[in-house]
Amino acid sequence: MTTPRTLFAMAGAPAHPSPLDRSALVLIDIQAEYTTGALPLAGVDAAVEEAARLLDLARRRGVPVVHVAHHGEPGGLFDPKGPGSTFVPAVAPIDGEVVVTKGLPNSFAGTQLHDQLKAIGRPELIIAGFMTHMCVSATARAALDLGYRSTVVAAATATRDLPNPLGGVITAAELQRAELAALGDRYSVVVGNHRAWV
């Protein structure tokens, strides 16, 4: 049996992570709903710690940062006026960093994200956040459609167990591995953690 290859590899596409001097960091939905709210994720504390290290690196190296926050319906998940919608303090925005709110998994859908990134003028994205199979995936896939080259930082993402529609449960670990592999096939370079740039 032959060793599988990604579509990126077959096309001879570059495999290096997005260079810091050409990239913007996009942190997706690192909000309390996933840490202390109704949707706790597997390994979320470690993922937040890695996202904080990535954010610190970006700030020290002059990489523009965009924070994306999901806002749901009042009284539901990610209630805009409830505690679940607040940013996790370790990765909260500071003055000068762009904040974009969204209502769909794709961070570009119905938002100013694309316009903000065009104004920043960086053609590549470094993506981290939650959930891997949902908003991270939808955003990375849309980024390709919009002409961005992107890198997903695996250790700064996380997801949760899901019911398997064919029976049983797909564990968060299985889903995480499968989604990162799918993104790495064609949509994004996938790196382990912030040390890819150190």
Q: Catalogue the active-site residues.
A: 29, 102, 135
Tokens of 160: 């949760």
The DSSP output letter for 91 is G
Measure CA 99 to chain center. Answer: 14
DSSP strands (E only) in the chain: 23-28, 65-70, 98-102, 124-130, 149-158, 162-163, 169-170, 189-191
29: closest CA among 83, 69, 66, 79?
Answer: 69
Q: Is residue 47 a contact partner of residue 130, using CB atoms and an 8 Å limit?
A: yes
Half-sphere exposure of 17 (CA within 13 A, CB side): 20
Sheet of 23-28, strands arranged across: 98-102, 65-70, 23-28, 124-130, 149-158, 189-191
Tokens of 49: 């710690």
Q: How many residues does this entry show for the chain?
A: 198
